[in-house]
Structures are given as structure tokens and as C-alpha cells.
Amino acid sequence: METLPKVRRISKGATSQPLGARLMPAEKDEVERYAFRLQRSRAWFLRFLILRGLADYKRELASHQ
């Protein structure tokens, strides 16, 4: 019997430890709507937003130096 390669759900090097964030019900609903539109999970969409926000924050810090 052939052994199939292991499928990874997270990118290599990403933490598998969940991080918590508290959202108001309306914010949670909005996140879920956008994730649904993109056919992605809520966790994927939140990670996307965090990475995008970090990039913007770093650009802003660099522009003030």
C-alpha cells in the first residue's frame, strides 16, 4: 500500500498555537461574511487581516523615521 504525503493545513513555520482575540458580535459577523465571500475560514481571514495590518504598521513606522 502506498503512503500518501502528509497534508499540512498551516504554512511551514507558522505556529499551530491558537491566539485569542475578542470581537464584538457585529465585528465577528462582519469577519464571517468576508471570509464566506472569499470561501476561506474565519481563522484564515483573521490571519490575513493581521498580516496586512502588520505590513501597514511597519510602513507607517518607517515613514516616521
pLDDT at 46: 95
Question: Closest by alpha carbon to 19, among 42, 41, 36, 43?
Answer: 43
pTM score of the predicted model = 0.71
CA distance 31 to 7: 26
In 3D space, the residue among 24, 13, 25, 17 whose CA is nearest the CA of residue 43 turns out to be 17
Judge whether 34 and 45 are in contact, CB under 8 Å: yes
Q: What is the pLDDT of residues 5-39, one digit of tens each?
A: 666 666 666 666 788 899 999 999 999 999 999 99
